Amino acid sequence: MTLQWTAVALFLYVEVGLLVILCLPFISAKRWRIIFQLRIWNFMARFWNKVFLTMIVILIVLFLDAVREVRKYSGRDLGTDAKLQPNMFDHLHMKLFRAQRNLYISGFAVFLWLVMKRVITLINQLASVSENTAALQTQADNANQAAKKYMDDNEQLKKALMEGKGDKATADGMELLRKEVEKLKGELKTTGDALKQSQSAADVMKKQTDGLAREYDRLLKEHQALQNLQDAGSKKDD
């Protein structure tokens, strides 16, 4: 095996080892994401696309060279030379075997290189989705806690207003009611501002529509006048 094909075979074995490590079940996608965010990987990420495309081009060139060698030795006819040189048949098959071996090595190297890039991309996407899911779960928990707190406050308000006895219970109920009213006022103010903005946008669109309608009517009148002038000129010519 020549030096270039020894290097390709070694590269193939490295790809197989890396894919086996990437597919280990006890290493989660989040852990891989942490590993990929190290400084050395951030430094190499700037050259990753160039390295990937360069290796693809090199492996494809070697693959096409192996295909050429296989076709060269597969379609060769010995003829009468085999009788003159008995070892030529064995030598030709040895060349064909080496060409086929190189073809398989380069082909699997290209395939595993693409697979490895895809696996790394999917691991990063899975880690990102997991982080987003955790964030959404936290937001949902916070929303549930807030809703539970509001429900408890409403229950206390109802109890204070309907079953309260004495000045203290009435004061507590009025305080809760005051907080609820202030909250509703804030929401009403926000809704009113949004409504005003929508009305302003609607008024602007209405003005633009009226302007377009007037411009259309003016152009229609000019077109009709030009049409009348053209018809009058045609009649004079006749």
The answer to whether position 189 is within a domain reads: no
Instruction: Determine, yes or no, domain membership for 38.
Output: yes
> What domain range includes position 9?
3-132
pLDDT tens profile 110-127: 898 888 888 888 888 887
Residue 102 lies in a domain: yes
Please state which of the ranges 3-12, 80-89, 108-117, 209-218 shows the lowest mean pLDDT.
Answer: 80-89
Q: Does residue 14 contact residue 110 with C-beta atoms inside 8 Å?
A: no
The count of domains in the chain is: 1
**pTM exceeds 0.85:** no
In a domain, 144, yes or no: no
* Residue 173 domain-assigned (yes or no): no
The answer as to whether 96 is a domain residue is yes
Confirm whether 64 is domain-assigned: yes
Mean pLDDT of the residues in the chain: 76
Tell me, what's the pLDDT at 56? 87
Kindly indicate the confidence band of residue 184, based on its pLDDT and cuts at 50, 70 and 90: confident
Residue range 202-228, pLDDT digits in tens: 777 777 777 676 776 777 777 777 777
* Residue 95 burial class via C-beta count within 10 angstroms: exposed 0-12, middle 13-18, buried 19 and up: middle
Phi, psi of 27 (to 5 degrees): -105, 110
**pLDDT at residue 98 in the model:** 85
Residue 191 binned pLDDT confidence (cut-offs 50, 70, 90): confident
Residue 8 lies in a domain: yes
**Three-class SS string for 124-191?**
HHHHHHHHHHHHHHHHHHHHHHHHHHHHHHHHHHHHHHHCCCHHHHHHHHHHHHHHHHHHHHHHHHHH
